[in-house]
Every structure is written in structure tokens, then in C-alpha cells.
Amino acid sequence: MTLFATLERGLEELERCFDDALDAALPNPVALIFSDLPLAYQGKRDLVFAMDLLNEGENECALIAAFARDRLRDDPGAGIAHLEREAWYYLRTSIDATWQFDDGEPSLPAALAYLAIVLRERPAAGEAAALLGRLRADANAEPSTSTARL
């Protein structure tokens, strides 16, 4: 499989993760279905970042990965090593302060897989935290008069 095909597949999966993350993070009235909006990948990425579901380095990595895909779409033989290094740099600095000591080769497919996993887990963690907050607030609330009678 070519790098272009791998990036295309990875970015399509990441866009589905954007849709799922947006659906999980926001109330979704029938009139507002994110996968139906004409936002495309970059618009959805912007929304996911604005909602704090991606940190800055993850967002930059996702942005640059799409640039790399677009470059290969225009010219299948184009060199994108500089884009791959840049995307990897942003991702690594966002998740590991010791990135300078990582001697692994930059990999856009690995970066996209990481971002997809993060987006699948982060909204669920946010929902769990919100539920825990509501439960704590309910537990600490003054008993209502109807509860007091029971």
C-alpha cells in the first residue's frame, strides 16, 4: 500500500473519530448532525480542537497530516519527509516532554492511529468525569423537602 493510500485511510478514520467525538461532546439535535455538515476534515478538526478534545500538538499533527495527504494527492512522488517530521515533532512534544531522546523514526500512520485512539477515549473520559461531578453535587446537595419526608 502506498503512503498516500495509508494516509487517506488514516485520515478518513480520524474524520469519523472527529464526528464521534463531536456527537459525544455536544447535545446533538436532529437539525445538527455533524457528519452532515459541509465542514470536511479540517473544519471538523478545528471544532474538535476548539472543544478541547485535542491538545495543541495533537491538533497540529492532524493538520499537517492532511497537508501531507493533499501534497501526495497532487504529486504522488512528492517528498513529504519534512511534513512527517514536523507532524511527529508536534505530536511527540504534546505527549512526552523527553521527546528529544526518542530515536524512533517519524511515522504519520502511527501518529494518525494514536490520534484516533485519543479521540475515542477522551470524550468518554469527559462524560465519566461529568457524571462523577453530577453525582458528587447530588450527594452534597441539601435534601429536598420531598426527600426529607421519606
Kindly report, residue by residue over 74-115, the tens digit of the pLDDT.
999 999 999 999 999 899 888 876 666 566 789 999 999 999
Under 8 Å between Cβ of 124 and 24: yes
| Residue 86, SS3 per DSSP | helix
pLDDT of 121 higher than 80: yes
pLDDT, tens digit (0-9, with 9 covering 90-100), for 129-144: 666 667 777 777 765 5
For the CA atoms of 140, 142, 144, 148, the dihedral, rounded to the nearest 10 degrees, stands at 90
CB 48 within 8 A of CB 54: yes
